[in-house]
Amino acid sequence: MNTLASLLSFAGKATWLWLLFIVATLCVSAQQVDSVMWRLLNSDLTITYNLDKQADIRVRVSIDGGHTFSDPLDSLKGDIGSAVAPGTGKTITGHNIPEIQEIEEWLIVFLVEVDDGSVVVWFDTIPIVMMPVKGGSFFMGAAGQGNVRHGKDRAFPVHEVTLDDYYIGRYEVTQQLWKSVMGENPSLYQGNDSLPVDQVSWSQIQIFIARLSQLTGYRFHLPTEAQWEYAARGGQYSFDHLYPGTTDSLFLYAWYCGNSGNHTHPVGQLRPNELGIFDMGGNVAEWCADWAGDYTAEPQKNPRGPRSGENRVLRGGSINSPSWTCSVHDRSWYLPDHSYGCYGFRLVLDEIQRDID
């Protein structure tokens, strides 16, 4: 996760519960929320925190000691919601919080965080953080022949694409999540559950996604190639960078041959792009849903690629890639039944709707 809550102290009398923890938010700029303290007196909740710059704020609660957290609470008042001003001693209050009724106090943990629009889908105690991407139009492909050194000119011609809203994984799928769903770890690079799963084929991923969707009730799928590129470019917040999040400082945003040490790295260690998405330029190349095929110049809406083909699309660079393969427009491809040590993936949801049997 990009938010780490660490429990530091406990003290109390009768009906008082005090917990102090620090919320560290990894973002492009500095930490935004810290010095969070909350107390519960009978049915009255008071939360205080410091905020270093204006932000949207939300609160979630855990009733299992901090292992999993709820959706944002909507029954609180005070310094919560949109455009909270910076300052110290920001205060949030609530009364008779329904989510904690009849829960033993030692199991309760409140999390104050910047509201970036993300939605967390839980699989057991593993959070799957999905970032919102507001739909819109963009020009897909490379702007000039000089920008393409890989892909046999497959990034041409530039064409306008319009997409609906969707959600995409903040992080590449980790070995922890893969093992929890599939019961084994196929990765070439191991040693940390937060490493991206690698050495998985497109076909194996379809089995994983089917199982995860059945177990969670959410309809996950691989991003289309257009969804991947739009998110890599930063969506509606794009600054038209050459790489995801940057043009001049790739080493701060992506693990590639210039800084990886020829090994994958835990997800989310470098800087995110404009949408708050990590590792789109490197670490592992990412499978997309589409068959590989040539672009056409016609405008398209929600394209899904050719109806058939021999290879499936891969996007983004990897730990052994030169810099140009990390660009937002670079394209690669591979046989769907074959795997490779630097190939992984991230998830997409078209909507946050859970199927209930």
Structural domain contains residue 357: no
In this predicted structure, what is the pLDDT of residue 24?
33
Residues 112 and 127 in one domain: no
Structural domain contains residue 281: yes
The pair of structure tokens assigned to 91 is: 């205060």
Residues 246 and 295 in one domain: yes
Q: Is 184 exposed, middle or buried (0-12, 13-18, 19+ CB in 10 A)?
A: exposed
End residue of a domain, out of 91, 116, 141: 116
Structural domain contains residue 286: yes
Q: What is the DSSP letter of 232?
A: H
Residues 277 and 296 in one domain: yes
Structural domain contains residue 302: yes
Residues 72 and 131 in one domain: no
Domain count, the chain: 2
Q: 11 with 23: CB under 8 angstroms?
A: no
Pairing outcome for strands 343-344 and 285-291 = parallel
Structural domain contains residue 37: yes
Residues 164 and 208 in one domain: yes
DSSP helix/strand/coil, 51: strand
Task: Please confirm whether the linkage preceding 303 is cis (ω < 30° from 0).
Answer: no
Q: 288 with 352: CB under 8 angstroms?
A: no
pTM value is: 0.86
Q: 91 with 50: CB under 8 angstroms?
A: no
For the domain that residue 132 is a member of, what is the CATH number? 3.90.1580.10
Q: In angstroms, rounded to a whole number, what is the distance separating the alpha carbons of residues 181 and 204? A: 12
Residues 30 and 161 in one domain: no
Structural domain contains residue 161: yes
Structural domain contains residue 322: yes
Residues 128 and 78 in one domain: no
End residue of a domain, out of 68, 100, 116: 116
Residues 224 and 106 in one domain: no
Residues 46 and 167 in one domain: no
Per-residue pLDDT of the chain (357 residues; tens, 9 = 90+): 333 333 322 233 333 333 333 233 333 344 589 999 999 998 999 999 999 999 999 999 999 999 999 999 999 999 999 999 999 999 999 999 999 999 999 999 999 999 999 999 999 999 999 999 999 999 999 975 445 555 446 788 999 999 999 999 999 999 999 999 999 999 999 999 999 999 999 999 999 999 999 999 999 999 999 999 999 999 999 999 999 999 999 999 999 999 999 999 999 999 999 999 999 999 999 999 999 999 999 999 999 999 999 999 999 999 999 999 999 999 999 999 999 999 999 999 999 877 765
In this predicted structure, what is the pLDDT of residue 11?
31
Q: 42 with 96: CB under 8 angstroms?
A: no
End residue of a domain, out of 50, 85, 116: 116
Residues 127 and 112 in one domain: no
In this predicted structure, what is the pLDDT of residue 357?
55
Q: In angstroms, rounded to a whole number, what is the distance separating the alpha carbons of residues 351 and 357? A: 18
CA proximity to 349, closest of 213, 204, 201, 211: 213
The one-letter amino acid code at 278 reads F
Structural domain contains residue 355: no
In this predicted structure, what is the pLDDT of residue 356?
60
Residues 77 and 147 in one domain: no
What is the domain extent for residue 297? 123-349
Residues 24 and 162 in one domain: no
